[in-house]
Amino acid sequence: MDVQQQDNEDLVKVAELVKEMKFAMLTTEEMDGTLRSRPMSTMQMDSEGHLWFFTAMSSPKVAEAEQHRQVNLSYARTDKQDYLSISGKVEVVHDKQKMQELWTPWIKPWFRDGLDDPDLVLLKVTITEAEYWDAPGSAMVRLYGL
């Protein structure tokens, strides 16, 4: 995973935590208001603070994200009791060059046909709020809020 140096100082700690935790539970909203989550592999946090993921265009989360663009990413390291909540807006991005930049063999289990898969797309999350907790009983720390 590629976590770049952040232009925005408020995102430095978020970047550190994302790097350490790597897998997020991405929560989206269904048509009827149901909230669903699923594990996702973070591919990159770019210098402007966007979080990038690979996914399948045909998967339900894409339709859900397109009708309710606000999503949550929760990161956890359960052995250390570190938790991070990121609220953000998601976009579906079709960009072959960006896909090439982000591709790594370790996500093959989810995308067997690799970059040739016509169903492969990118999700780009722009952070609007972030909060973290880093010890049992600790108060929440607001890291970032727009």
Ligand X SMILES: Cc1cc2nc3c(=O)[nH]c(=O)nc-3n(C[C@H](O)[C@H](O)[C@H](O)COP(=O)(O)O)c2cc1C
Query: Which residues bind to a copy of itself, rule: CB under 8 A?
Result: 21, 23, 25, 27, 29, 33-39, 68, 70-72, 74, 76-79, 81, 83, 85, 87, 109-110, 128-129, 131, 133, 136-137, 140
Residue nearer to a copy of itself on the CB measure, 118 or 136: 136
- Contact between 55 and ligand X by CB under 6 A: the answer reads yes
Binding-residue total with ligand X (CB under 6 A): 20
Name the minimum Å distance from CB 111 to a copy of itself: 10
CA distance 67 to 104: 29
**Residue type present at position 135:** A
User: According to CB under 6 A, which one of 140, 141, 142, 146 is a site residue for ligand X?
Assistant: 140
- Contact between 53 and ligand X by CB under 6 A: the answer reads yes
Question: By C-alpha distance, which of 50, 55, 28 is closest to 40?
Answer: 55
- Contact between 103 and ligand X by CB under 6 A: the answer reads no
- Contact between 80 and ligand X by CB under 6 A: the answer reads no
Name the minimum Å distance from CB 82 to ligand X: 8
Contacts 24+ apart (CB under 8 A), 64-71: 64/28, 64/29, 64/30, 64/31, 64/36, 65/28, 65/90, 65/92, 65/123, 66/92, 67/29, 67/31, 68/28, 68/29, 70/29, 70/128, 71/26, 71/27, 71/28, 71/125
- Contact between 4 and ligand X by CB under 6 A: the answer reads no
